[in-house]
Structure 1
Amino acid sequence: MTNKLKDITKSEVFTGVLLIIATIVSLIIANSRFGQAYNNFFTYPIIGEFNVHLIINDFLMAIFFLFVGLEIKHEILYGRLSSFKKASFPIIAAIGGVLLPAIIFTIINLGTPFSDGIGIPISTDIAFVVGIFMILEHKLNPLLKIFLLSLAVVDDLISILVIGVLYSSNINVWCLLIAMIILLILFAMARNKIDNITIYLLVGLVLWFFIYYSGVHATISGVLLASAIPSKKFKKSKESMLNRLVHKLAPICNLFILPLFALCNTGIVLDLNENFSLDHTLVLGIIAGLVVGKPLGIMLFTWVATKLKITEKPKGVDWLSVLPVSILAGIGFTMSIFVSEIAFKGNHELINLSKISILLSAVISIIITYIVATMINFYKKKEPNKPNLQK
């Protein structure tokens, strides 16, 4: 019974379901008579300027970004992104899935005060997307799970760069300089084969402090720390520090940080009387970017790249199978919500509107994925002797 419970909590489906539950709970509470108490709790000051909301979004999410950074590093060194042949198809898909939503959002919001939201529709939520993929596993090509994971990893890397470049302001040069010195110390520790996770995390905490006060978004410290974590196994260790830390952080991030983030950031007040006429381009830009731009960018870029012989589809995969998975990538959720919090910081109305758009996009993407996958399966069963659009 205990082993079965462990298997359930480790499953990708469980993380996705947990995120859905946290979102539903926060929506119910925010729109009930406990809505004010909900807001008061997350805005309650803990230490100085740090309230519960800020601790979750700036500190706990830095730990999540550390986890993501470690996974990206592992994939680049040893995994699905370790060679051009393995990486080219999902990398090109991710680039298309970022550029086209950004272009669509920019065109719709050109000359409006919402242009800062360009980073919102470019993201794919790894945990949520893979969870939904596993729920719809019987309707999707299982070979595309690796493609989707790789795409989401590259997508996250691009999103992290966007956060670092677009959403950093009022740079404190001295704090940034100290942060860079601390990063060099971390690399020196790795070079000298210091094999103690606690020491790296404590130095990483100091790094977070100076990154936070430098004006660069604090979550970037997690990625910087990940870049310095040793990836090779030392003589006395059975496993590399990178792998050990990934195993330790996976349950913390998937079962605690991500659901807590969802609980904190999806408490949207659904006001039916709200006037959307003034902000309709923001809503349209996000939904069109995620629901239309994501799959269109992924399909278009990969199709053109295969025609130009730059890359090739994974074996056993046809274009009809890629389509529903590309649509599923339109679930931005965690990363999109996170970017909306940064992009429109201090503007509660725009943040709220962005979150509604992100949630709607996720629901629409899931529904369309289900319908398209069902239709494709029906077509393939009905016409088994016809070519499966491999070319």
Structure 2
Amino acid sequence: MTQPPRPGPASRVSLPALSPSSKLYVGTEAGGSALLLVATLTALLWANSPWSGSYDAFWSTTATIGVGDLALSMDLEHWVNDAAMALFFLVVGLEITREVSTGELRDRRNVAAPALGALGGLLVPAAVYLAVNPSGPASAGWGIVMSTDTAFVLGILALFGPRCPDRLRLFLLTLAIVDDIGAISVMALVYSGNLGLTALAVSGVLVAVLVGLRWLGVWRLAPYVVTGIALWLAVHASGVHATLAGVLVGLLLPSKPTAPEVLDRTRDYGRALREAPDPQRAQLARLAVAATVPAGARLQQTLHRWTAYGVVPVFGLANAGVPLDLETLRTAATSPVTLGIAAALVVGNAIGITAGAAVALRTGWGTLPGGVRWSHLMAGATLAGIGFTISLFITDLAFTDERLREQATIGILAGSVVAAVAGVVLLRVLGERFSLCSPESEGPPALPPRPWLEPSVPA
């Protein structure tokens, strides 16, 4: 039997794949998800153990930083939620800026499907929640269901996803980035306290300073870091949630590729160092090399592992500890808050993301990455119902009643578990039936990412 001819180079379709920077980001997020899961289980065990009283007592401990009258005091929970999580949102802002400058968000057709999917994943879950909780104090929780937990989604996809899952990761990563933009905007605009106009004015001046540093082409990190710390203090004093400062710094740091003349300059400094090695020339050569990488990329590389492996797990430990006694579970089983959040995360995201992406695909505004089918899209949309980190974060902002917070937390945990299990089942079934690999890339499955190793330098 005559074999069909192999497609020539002209007939091959170039399939998008994750860039090295995106792969490192995905690998770090996936690795951090394991620690986040351990921290969450530890918090639940601690809060339901004979030593449960020490859980609240520990996170209520006051800590002060300052000198003399210039001091800032908060309990440990707020130091985690307001200060440490600002670093997490800073990394999110840096990733958004990088994707817009050099990543997938540059191409409208690549971003249209996940962007409209993210929009559906913001609006439909909120509508589902408000349908269950249309009024009263509980209605303030509609923002809780508007975020996908990138770490858990990418971690589950790495462990249980189909063969060659990079195409689906690309879609979900872009969706999560756009989703984070929406959730952060809601958090800043809706869940802020009484505003202090003076502090807001100072914040505006500091934002202008960041813009000026970027416009002047300042490549050193120190001016941005100092201005960013001052901005956090001003935003914290203004009544707007302080984590917004982290997002603003991340969005304003330089991220565009360095000009060719800056790259060429490294050869001159390297040549001078080879001719006469001395500490001063070595320092100049080091600075010349550092200047070739945008400030945002350097800061992201420094902070991302700290936030993924440290800040986010500690946040889970500080916020996931809710009592799960029979009375609490019985109340949650009939609570509109718990049921509304669980339904919104599972059903709302599955319907909203699929419908939003369908609009982009049917109108021709966008395309799916090569090899991703409708069935994979629906499985990914189900998996995106895992809402944890930002959902817990907004819970603390939305409710002042401790009972509502407990019911919301149980709803987040229950909805996330259901979404994870349903998403894994769909991915495994569809992964066996439909491959995400292109014909020319089929082969043994890729090794899982090892984020604790530095990426190798290409030859």
Scaled by the length of structure 2, what TM-score is found? 0.78
Change (3 A) 1:184 1:11: closer
Letter in 1 for 2:220: N
Partner of 2:315: 261
For the 8 Å contact 2:349–2:385, the answer to whether it is kept is yes
> Are 1:122 and 1:336, in contact at CA under 8 Å, matched by a contact in 2?
yes
CA positional deviation for 1:140: 7.8
Report deviation, 1:277: 7.1
Unmatched segments (≥5 aa) in structure 2 = 1-23, 65-71, 263-287, 436-459
Q: Which of 132, 135, 157 lines up with 1:133 in the alignment?
A: 157
Query: Do structure 1's residue 86 and structure 2's residue 86 form an aligned pair?
Result: no
Question: 5 Å matches for 1:169-184?
Answer: 169-184=193-208
CA distance in 1, matches of 2:60, 2:419: 32
* Partner residue, 2:176: 152
Alpha-carbon distance in structure 2 between the residues aligned to 1:225 and 1:301: 30
Which of 50, 57, 61 is matched with 1:40 structurally?
57
Q: 2:281 — aligned with what?
A: none
Deviations 1:1-48 (A, max 9, x none): xxxxxx9x9654421111111111111111112211121111101125
Within the candidate set 268, 278, 289, 2:344 is matched to 289
* Residue 78 (structure 2) pairs with residue 23 (structure 1): no
SS of the equivalent of 1:33 reads coil
Query: Which residue is equivalent to 2:418?
Result: 364
Q: Which residue of 2 aligns with 1:58?
A: 82
Letter in 1 for 2:147: S
Q: What's the counterpart of residue 121 of structure 2?
A: 97
Q: Look up the match of 2:451.
A: none
Match of 1:36, as an amino acid? Answer: G
Show CA shifts across 1:133-158 (max 9, x none). Answer: 10112368441110000100110110
Find the partner of 1:350 among 404, 418, 429.
404
Kindly indicate whether residue 220 of structure 2 is the aligned counterpart of residue 165 of structure 1: no
C-alpha displacement of 1:372: 2.1
1:227 aligns with 2:251: yes
Q: What do residues 236-260 of structure 1 show as CA deviations (whole Å, max 9, x unaligned)?
A: 3131111101100111101100011
1:329 aligns with 2:384: yes
Residue 143 of structure 1: SS of its match in structure 2? helix
Q: Point out the more displaced range, 324-333 or 307-316.
A: 307-316
Alignment partner of 2:63: what SS?
strand
The alignment partner of 1:195 has SS state of coil
Q: SS of 1:221's equivalent?
A: helix
Residue 192 of structure 1 deviates from its aligned partner by 2.0
CA contact (8 A) 2:29 2:155 kept: yes
Q: Is 1:106 matched up with 2:123? A: no
More displaced stretch, 44-53 vs 357-366: 44-53
C-alpha deviation, 1:124, in angstroms: 0.3
Which protein is bigger by CA-based radius of gyration? 2
So what's the TM-score if we normalise by structure 1? 0.91
State whether residues 27 and 267 of structure 1, in contact with CA within 8 Å, keep that contact through their aligned partners in structure 2: yes
In structure 2, the residue corresponding to 1:312 is in which secondary structure? coil
Alignment counterpart, residue 374 of structure 2, candidates 315, 319, 331: 319
Aligned-pair distance for 1:272?
Answer: 1.2
**TM-fit CA distance, 1:377:** 4.4
Check the 8 A contact 1:141/1:317 in 2, yes or no.
Answer: no
Query: Which amino acid in 2 is paired with 1:295?
Result: A
Matched-pair contact (CA < 8 Å) for 1:133–1:140:
no
Contact 2:332–2:410, Cα closer than 8 Å, also in 1: no
Over aligned residue pairs, what C-alpha RMSD do you find?
2.0
Show the 5 A alignment for 1:205-224.
205-224=229-248
Q: CA deviation at 1:358?
A: 0.5
Residues 167-194 of structure 1 show CA distances to partners (whole Å, capped at 9, x for unaligned) of 0121111110110001101111222222
User: 3-state DSSP class of the match of 1:138?
Assistant: coil
Q: Is 1:200–2:224 an aligned residue pair?
A: yes
Per mean C-alpha deviation after superposition, the further-off stretch among 120-129 and 187-196 is 187-196
In 2, the alpha carbon distance for the partners of 1:347 and 1:252 equals: 32
Which amino acid in 2 is paired with 1:284? L
**SS of equivalent to 2:219:** coil
**Separation in 2, partners of 1:353, 1:281:** 9
AA aligned opposite 2:211: F
Identify which of 428, 442, 456 aligns with 1:374.
428
Distance between the aligned counterparts of 2:30 and 2:165, measured in 1? 17
Query: 2:304 and 2:44 mapped to 1: Cα distance?
Result: 26
Check the 8 A contact 1:139/1:374 in 2, yes or no. no
- Give the match for residue 303 of structure 1: 358
The 2-side partners of 1:379 and 1:124 are apart by 26
Runs in 1 of length 4+ with deviation above 4 angstroms?
A: 9-12, 377-381
1:248 aligns with 2:272: no
Q: Which amino acid aligns with 1:241?
A: A
Amino acid of the residue matched to residue 97 of structure 1? G
Amino acid across the alignment from 1:255: Y
Shift of 1:82: 0.9
Question: CA offset at residue 223 of structure 1?
Answer: 1.0
- Alignment partners' CA distance in 1, 2:224 and 2:245: 12
Counterpart-to-counterpart distance in 2, 1:352 and 1:198: 41
